[in-house]
Amino acid sequence: MQYLHAALVLHSSGKGVSEKGITAIIKAAGDKPDEAKIKALVSTLESLDIDEAIKGASFMTAASPGTTAAADTGKETVASSTEPEEEAGDDLGLSSLFG
């Protein structure tokens, strides 16, 4: 996840998302960069419009009314769903980069 965050920092600051930039951010954070993951991420992001991907991201959804009501009343609410939830980013193919 930190590699994706590094790429978003570069993008939001107006710099190009590059292997060198991501490596520098990971090192600045005190971690050892994984060159294979960085190459794969940069390669994947080259074919994406990052701004459009952010707009379409499903993780920016509002809380469900049941969750809000439970928080307000202090009662537990159990959500029942027969369909499995999709993970954010699966539609972008990015989840496979981070094992």
Distance CA 21, CA 19 (A): 6
Q: Can you tell me the distance from the alpha carbon of 21 to that of 41, in angstroms, rounded to the nearest whole number?
A: 12
Where are the domains positioned within the chain? 2-81
Is the domain spanning 2-81 CATH 1.20.1250.20? The answer is no
pLDDT, tens digit, 9 for 90 and up, residues 78-99 = 554 555 555 554 455 565 555 5
pLDDT tens figures, 20-49: 999 999 999 999 999 999 999 999 988 888
pLDDT band at 54 (very low <50, low <70, confident <90, very high): confident
User: Is residue 69's pLDDT more than 60?
Assistant: no
pTM of the model: 0.55
CA 58 vs. chain centroid, Å, equals 10
